[in-house]
Amino acid sequence: MSALTLTAAPVDRPRQTRWLLRLHRPALYTWAVLWIALIALLLALDGPLLNAAADAWRQYESCTTSERCSYDQNAILRYKDYYNYATIALNVLPFVLAAWAGAALTGRELESGTARLAWTQATSPARWLAVRLAVPALGVTVCTGLLAWLHHRAWTASQGRIESAKEWYDRFTFHAGGPTLAAMALAGLAAGALAGLLLRRTLPALAVGLVAVGVVRWLMELAMPHLWPAVTRLSTVDQGFLGKGMVVDQGMVTASGAHVPPPTCDSVASCATAFDRFAGRYNTYQPQSHLWGLQLTTTALTLAVAALLVTGCFLVLRRQTGTLRAARP
């Protein structure tokens, strides 16, 4: 009689990506609607809204004080309002991502026990977390990258045609139209996920995620002007500050050549006396030619912070679970 050989049937690992998409389907639909709406708005800012506002500005510039004329002021105001709406919305996206990641992506699953259920089904904690970070990160990078490109394209088209167009160094315009938008969104995703892992509760993780991404944005703003070599221009006291761009530092030049802060005065006479003591002014700034240098260095710094936050996520998960590997079935 031949011996019977018994082999254990392989345990199928649950498809974490499919489960993640199904679990967060309402949020996915919401993000899709928001993304499409922003794309439509940015295309309008590069098309009919821009053309109508540019025509109105040409009509306005052709007017003289000696003759009556009319121009479409509503077109100018409409373009300005919708540009501000789109720019602010893009800058707010990292905060919304941080809130969602903290409240739903990790916090809610840990609070409800869904995560531990997944870990008992041949899914390691490390794989569970990796899927929850990698899948949203891919979508966030693609979607925010396209939005940033469309915003920069709309802003570029407005230069020379819209007199009230924002300058390149406007902070909201700067971040909405470059790779820093995607980097900041990824940092927000990681910050929210880390908050959810630490607190394991939905609402507290949402609040902490918002605060964390706000701190990252604040630190990035402080560092950004200093991440690329700046230009310094000297001028006389009467000339004022020369050079246009993102200001790094401004002040006065003494007779010995030292750079000091500008004096404070409360009247015209006291100001004239105070400024007579100086030999000139200095203005240290980033010109428009440094735009992409600042974008790339700021993006690299933000991605480094995001990488640290992701590392923190895995370290916290290992401390909570004791291992990042699933037990053998």
Q: Is the pLDDT of residue 277 over 70?
A: yes
For 246, the enclosing helix (H) or strand (E) is strand 246-253
For 74, the enclosing helix (H) or strand (E) is helix 73-100
Question: Could you give the CA distance from residue 127 to residue 133 in angstroms, rounded to a whole number?
Answer: 10
Q: Is the pLDDT of residue 266 over 70?
A: yes
- Planar angle of CA 129, 303, 108, nearest 5 degrees: 30
Cα–Cα distance list, 294 to 201, 245, 289, 301, 302 (Å)? 38, 12, 10, 11, 12
Query: Average pLDDT of the chain?
Result: 86
- Planar angle of CA 71, 72, 74, nearest 5 degrees: 145
DSSP reduced 3-state for 3:
coil
Question: Could you give the CA distance from residue 192 to residue 211 in angstroms, rounded to a whole number?
Answer: 9
Q: Which residue is associated with the tokens 């905060």? A: 95
Decide: residue 64, CB within 10 A, 0-12 exposed, 13-18 middle, 19+ buried.
exposed
Confidence of residue 298 (pLDDT cuts 50, 70, 90): very high
Q: Is the pLDDT of residue 233 over 70?
A: yes
Structure tokens at 223: 């560092």
Q: Which residues pair with 235 in a beta bridge?
A: 281
- pLDDT tens digit sequence for 130-166: 888 898 899 999 999 999 999 999 999 999 899 889 9
Confidence of residue 67 (pLDDT cuts 50, 70, 90): low
Question: Could you give the CA distance from residue 323 to residue 72 in angstroms, rounded to a whole number?
Answer: 66
- State the pLDDT at residue 132: 85
Question: Could you give the CA distance from residue 213 to residue 77 in angstroms, rounded to a whole number?
Answer: 32
Task: Say what percent of the chain tops pLDDT 90.
Answer: 52
Higher pLDDT, 27 or 284: 284
Q: Which residue is associated with the tokens 């291992």? A: 323
Contacts of 162 (CB under 8 A, 6+ apart): 50, 53, 54, 57, 76, 79
Q: Is the pLDDT of residue 28 over 90?
A: no
Give me the DSSP letters along 253-280. Answer: E-TTS-EEPPP--SSHHHHHHHHTT-SE
Higher pLDDT, 66 or 193: 193
Determine the angle formed by the axes of helices 48-61 and 25-45, rounding to 10 degrees: 30
Per DSSP bridges, beta strands 231-235 and 259-260 are: unpaired
For residues 185 and 304, the answer to whether their CB atoms sit within 8 Å is: no
Q: Is the pLDDT of residue 204 over 80?
A: yes
Question: Could you give the CA distance from residue 203 to residue 124 in angstroms, rounded to a whole number?
Answer: 26
Q: Is the pLDDT of residue 3 over 50?
A: no
- State the pLDDT at residue 12: 43
- pLDDT tens digit sequence for 172-201: 999 999 999 999 999 999 999 999 889 888
